[in-house]
Amino acid sequence: MQIKRFFRSYVFRFIAFAIASCSVILFLASQPSFSKSDESVFSDKDVDFSFVVVGCNRVDKADIDKTSPSTANIEQLKRTFKEVAELSPPPKFLFFAGDAVMGYTSDVNVLESQLKGWRDLYESSPLASSKTTLIPITGNHETQNEKKVSYEGAEKTWLKVMAPYLKYAGNGPHAGGKDNLKTDQSQLTYSFDYKGTHFVVLNTDPVGRDWSVPKAWIAKDLDKAKSRFAKHIFAIGHKPAHAYPKNLYSPAEAKEDGLGKLYPEDRDEFWASLVKNKAEAMLAAHNHVYYRAKGPNGNTWQIIAGNGGSSLDKVVDQSKNNAFGFTVVSVLKNNHVTVTSYGRDVPKSGYLAPSEKYPTTVRDRGDITWSS
């Protein structure tokens, strides 16, 4: 009888231990994985506000008819809209950093149809009725024609379709000025403040000077922001100032695919303005990767969030660039700033395929607070 009691007790403890162990394993398996270096974890109550950046969701040219009229990767776009709407606390802004549609057309009617298709996808998503404000940004696919040259008709078409989401726009540079702009950029490149944080929204392909930003206007704008004691500064545009390293592509790129491609001196002056005014980061897309690195001459970060759903770039270590997703920047109440990259694996059956079996997890997390 004692042996039976001992056996039953032992079996019970073994089963209990096994259940507990499985629970721990399941719990750990459900937790997001992220970079152990530069780890920064906080709770919702620590967040003053947050915002999301994502770009590059348009399909390949060969797949335009599959997702017409939007020419967006609809599967990934809908999922991102849904997941951003479910974030807690709700982000204040979603900056969509360009290349939402295929574009690259001199036919403004085609461009308008694509943009309206994309807008309809947003309006039918849970994000449209959430507390998060959409701020769209032009990409080269929206502003350029077949020859990859920006033109005024494309700018006007984009402004027409995206007008409902431009309530913060309007204080940007007009035609002429020290930057010798060819067209009015006041609603394409502009700035605004929110809770002591200064945002600079950038059109990185203005008519007459593709691959550039109005450096003189930006320098003056940032100086004014600092004179108002802005606590944080972020620049957000489509093309990064410092692109994904050309030697990390597979095969290696001959020239950098960022603002330094055509006007490296202008890019350097722009970056110097960010560093001078202690901007935390420039966030961009264009390169179809997620990438985070400090730029030169200071503590300003370059964060590329071009993994919104377009075919990902081929890189040396493809295992590190195999996820679609979005990036969250959190401004904390203690004045620290963190970045979190969320990603889901690219479906094995193709980049446009259903993705529900691929969970979205944290792929990178770090503190990007300016450190003197």
User: Has residue 164 been placed in a domain?
Assistant: yes
Point out which residues pair with 71 in neighbouring strands: none
In this structure, the answer to whether residues 178 and 277 fall within a common structural domain is yes
Residue 115, amino acid: L
In this structure, the answer to whether residues 12 and 75 fall within a common structural domain is no
Mean pLDDT of 253-277: 96
In this structure, the answer to whether residues 11 and 133 fall within a common structural domain is no
In this structure, the answer to whether residues 146 and 277 fall within a common structural domain is yes
User: Has residue 9 been placed in a domain?
Assistant: yes
In this structure, the answer to whether residues 27 and 61 fall within a common structural domain is no
pLDDT in tens, 301-328: 999 999 999 999 999 999 889 999 999 9
In this structure, the answer to whether residues 26 and 122 fall within a common structural domain is no
User: Has residue 202 been placed in a domain?
Assistant: yes
Instruction: Please tell me the total count of domains within the chain.
Output: 2
Question: Which tokens sit at 306?
Answer: 């071009």
In this structure, the answer to whether residues 8 and 108 fall within a common structural domain is no
- Asked if residues 96 and 58 have their Cβ atoms less than 8 Å apart, the reply is no
User: Has residue 372 been placed in a domain?
Assistant: no
pLDDT in tens, 203-240: 999 999 999 999 999 999 999 999 999 999 999 999 99
Query: Residue 31 burial (CB < 10 Å; 0-12/13-18/19+)?
Result: exposed
CATH number at residue 351: 3.60.21.10
In this structure, the answer to whether residues 164 and 15 fall within a common structural domain is no
Its domain, for residue 317, covers 35-367
- Rounded to whole angstroms, how far apart are CA atoms 19 and 10? 14
In this structure, the answer to whether residues 298 and 153 fall within a common structural domain is yes
Selected residue with higher pLDDT from 15 and 358: 358
The backbone torsions φ and ψ at residue 222, rounded to the nearest 5 degrees and listed phi first, read -70, -35
pLDDT in tens, 98-137: 999 999 999 999 999 999 999 999 999 999 999 999 999 9
- Asked if residues 329 and 234 have their Cβ atoms less than 8 Å apart, the reply is yes
Point out which residues pair with 241 in neighbouring strands: none
- Asked if residues 143 and 150 have their Cβ atoms less than 8 Å apart, the reply is yes
User: Has residue 139 been placed in a domain?
Assistant: yes
In this structure, the answer to whether residues 274 and 322 fall within a common structural domain is yes
Q: Is pLDDT at 18 greater than 50 in this prediction?
A: no
In this structure, the answer to whether residues 135 and 264 fall within a common structural domain is yes
User: Has residue 24 been placed in a domain?
Assistant: yes
In this structure, the answer to whether residues 19 and 130 fall within a common structural domain is no
- Rounded to whole angstroms, how far apart are CA atoms 239 and 55? 10
Selected residue with higher pLDDT from 297 and 83: 83
Residue 45, amino acid: K
List CB contacts of 70: < 8 A, sequence separation 6 or more. Answer: 101, 114, 117, 118, 120, 121
User: Has residue 231 been placed in a domain?
Assistant: yes
Q: Which of 117, 123, 113 is nearest to 165 (CA)?
A: 123
The predicted pLDDT at position 372 comes to 65
Q: Which of 364, 366, 301, 368 is nearest to 39 (CA)?
A: 366
Mean pLDDT of 277-290: 98
